Amino acid sequence: MEMHRAKVVQKLTLVDIDTRKQNLEAAGYNQFLLKNDAIFLDMLTDSGMNVMSDKQLAAAMTGDDAYAGSRTFFELADKIKEIFGFDFFLPVHQGRACEHLLARVFVKPGDVIAMNYHFTTTRAHIMLCGGSVIELNLPDSLDNSSANPFKGNFDLDKLKALIAEVGPQRMPFVRIEAGTNLIGGQPLSLENIVAVAKICRQHGILTVLDASLLQDNLYFIKVREAACKDMSIREITRALADEIDVIYFSARKLGFAKGGGICLRSAELYDQFKELVTLHEGFLTYGGISITELASMTQGLEETMDFDMISQGPQFIAYMVDELDKRGIPVVKPAGGLGCHLDARAFLSHVPQAEYQAGALSAAIYLASGVRPMERGTVSEARNEDGSEHFADVELVRLAMPRRLFTRSQIDYAVDRIHWLFENRGLIGGLRFVKEPKVLRFFSGELAPTSDWSDRLVAKYKADFGDSL
């Protein structure tokens, strides 16, 4: 249940299914291109969608809005040092900016960046600098029914073998993503992070933590890792951070605010990064974001250390996963962070992967419910150099759970409409690209159905629900 009360509300609108179909067609069957007034429940992402607390809003009102030398920046830097133990902090406008700067500083042509699993924009920035990405995920990490509580863990034998194969001189850092966005928000254990850091130290390789989804990962470490059950969230955070050389994060996810930041131990690295921050982001004490966001971030990071504050998201996700699973609907298990993830490959087994199963299911969910999910499958991949399709390891549809936003009755509504869709899944067909950008096509590409399946789905909906929205 919610461990907070609502003080401010925002009206939602659920448009009828004919209007939803028109909206979808206008958006090229791409959820990113839908206008917000077309959405009933926005489950596209948790990025920038989390609800701020009364204390965060109060902090924002008292921020020191100076271009340089802001008191609010130094309060945030002190909070970073208190929580993570890092002496240097640089604010940037969001997590993607961190990825850009990290690639610029560390990656040169021929370098290899190992990670437990890639993220779309992270990999793109590394490749633009001439590097390559190697994923060292566990054998069962892509098994959506595996009961492994930490499917985000590194395969340590693969890490050792990669270092021996390419040499540490070609591996400027190992990226640790806590937890893994593209495979269902699956977490890492503290034990695994410690083991990865030990291997890296032995070979002089830096460890870089993407802490954007750390909030959920901290919850899972406490409730799933026996050795950590008696530790506080603050103690777990510090134990984890003590193993890492560089931490970066999107505050649009971590800290209930907007913006981002890079935490550094080394004064030498700080000097390298600060020049690029000034060039690309703004001055060192505001980093391209407003002072109000810096103030909100400081309070939000403190709230992230509160177990009651961070538990609702994972608990609501688990509730949604369990309710769908009871109805025989294929979902990623065990429930991870970030959101509930549907297995589109199993849901639409009659649709070829080349016709974008996850993209088609995502569009069908919007048609049936007004809920906007996100495709996390082949549409989110980039084509191979020869122009052929690069098929995703998994075809997932993510129903994100922004923190402190939704009520349980809204989740029940989404479950009910997805259940109806599952019972009528044979009506759903595939998609094809009609406008396909070369870089990050899932953000702005446009698609169209391969048949009249959306018309048939709308007709079935009206037959079952009549004039109901």
pLDDT in tens, 374-428: 999 999 999 998 999 999 999 999 999 999 999 999 999 999 999 999 999 999 9
Query: For residue 315, what pLDDT is reported?
Result: 96
Query: For residue 58, what pLDDT is reported?
Result: 95
- The answer to whether residue 112 is domain-embedded is yes
The H or E element spanning position 276 is: helix 267-280
Q: Which among 297, 299, 282, 272 is positioned nearest to 92, based on CA atoms? A: 282
Query: For residue 192, what pLDDT is reported?
Result: 98
Do residues 152 and 260 share a domain?
A: yes
Do residues 397 and 381 share a domain?
A: yes
Catalytic residue among 29, 40, 119, 461: 119
End-to-end CA distance of the chain: 27
Q: Are strands 112-115 and 173-177 parallel, antiparallel or unpaired?
A: parallel
Query: For residue 469, what pLDDT is reported?
Result: 80
Residue 425 carries which DSSP code? G
- The answer to whether residue 387 is domain-embedded is yes
Residue 283: how many CB atoms within 10 A of its CB? 17
Query: For residue 331, what pLDDT is reported?
Result: 97
Do residues 272 and 394 share a domain?
A: no
Alpha-carbon distance of 247 to 252, in angstroms, equals: 15
Preceding peptide of 334 cis, ω within 30°: yes
- The answer to whether residue 61 is domain-embedded is yes
Do residues 24 and 79 share a domain?
A: no
The H or E element spanning position 447 is: strand 446-449
Query: For residue 322, what pLDDT is reported?
Result: 98
Catalytic residue among 20, 175, 253, 403: 253
Active site residue 120: yes
Residue 431: both structure tokens together: 């998609």
Do residues 344 and 392 share a domain?
A: yes
Do residues 168 and 295 share a domain?
A: yes
Do residues 188 and 287 share a domain?
A: yes
Alpha-carbon distance of 11 to 24, in angstroms, equals: 22
pLDDT tens, per residue, the chain with 469 residues: 888 888 889 999 999 999 999 999 999 999 999 999 999 999 999 988 889 999 999 999 999 999 999 999 999 999 999 999 999 999 999 999 999 999 999 999 999 999 999 999 999 999 999 999 999 999 999 999 899 999 999 999 999 999 999 999 999 999 999 999 999 999 999 999 999 999 999 999 999 999 999 999 999 999 999 999 999 999 999 999 999 999 999 999 999 999 999 999 999 999 999 999 999 999 999 999 999 999 999 999 999 999 999 999 999 999 999 999 999 999 999 999 999 999 999 999 999 999 999 999 999 999 999 999 999 999 999 999 899 999 999 999 999 999 999 999 999 999 999 999 999 999 999 999 999 999 899 999 999 999 999 999 999 999 999 988 8
Measured CA to CA in angstroms, residue 95 lies from 44, 150, 248, 267 at distances of 17, 24, 7, 21
3-state secondary structure 188-211: CCHHHHHHHHHHHHHCCCEEEEEC
Q: Are strands 339-343 and 260-264 parallel, antiparallel or unpaired?
A: unpaired
Active site residue 366: no
Domain span including residue 156: 54-304
In the chain, the number of structural domains is: 2
Catalytic residue among 42, 46, 111, 210: 210
Which of 304, 324, 342 terminates a domain? The answer is: 304
Catalytic residue among 86, 88, 442, 461: 442
- The answer to whether residue 6 is domain-embedded is no
Note if the pTM is more than 0.75: yes
Catalytic residue among 96, 222, 376, 441: 376
Active site residue 253: yes
Active site residue 229: no
The enclosing domain of 121 has a CATH number of: 3.40.640.10
- The answer to whether residue 11 is domain-embedded is no
- The answer to whether residue 336 is domain-embedded is yes
The enclosing domain of 362 has a CATH number of: 3.90.1150.10
Cα-based angle 159, 163, 166 (whole degrees, multiple of 5)? 130
Do residues 106 and 84 share a domain?
A: yes
Q: At what angle do helices 291-304 and 71-84 cross, to 10 degrees?
A: 20
Active site residue 442: yes
Strand partners, 398: 341, 374
Please enumerate in sequence order all residues whose Cβ is within 8 A of that of 343, keeping only pairs 6 or more positions apart, or say none: 144, 330, 331, 332, 394, 395, 396
Which of 253, 275, 304 terminates a domain? The answer is: 304
Which of 259, 288, 304 terminates a domain? The answer is: 304
The long-range contacts involving 316-324, CB below 8 angstroms and separated by at least 24 positions, are: 316/401, 316/406, 316/408, 316/411, 317/185, 317/401, 319/408, 319/411, 320/399, 320/401, 320/411, 320/414, 320/415, 323/411, 323/412, 323/415, 324/415, 324/418, 324/419
Do residues 142 and 84 share a domain?
A: yes
- The answer to whether residue 135 is domain-embedded is yes
Do residues 122 and 237 share a domain?
A: yes
Active site residue 273: no
Do residues 79 and 226 share a domain?
A: yes
- The answer to whether residue 1 is domain-embedded is no
**What sign does the dihedral 181-182-187-189 (CA atoms) show?**
negative
Query: For residue 2, what pLDDT is reported?
Result: 83
Q: Are strands 396-400 and 339-343 parallel, antiparallel or unpaired?
A: antiparallel
CB 92 within 8 A of CB 262: yes
Query: For residue 69, what pLDDT is reported?
Result: 95
Active site residue 378: no
Catalytic residue among 67, 391, 443, 465: 67
Alpha-carbon distance of 385 to 132, in angstroms, equals: 14
Preceding peptide of 179 cis, ω within 30°: yes
Do residues 316 and 341 share a domain?
A: yes
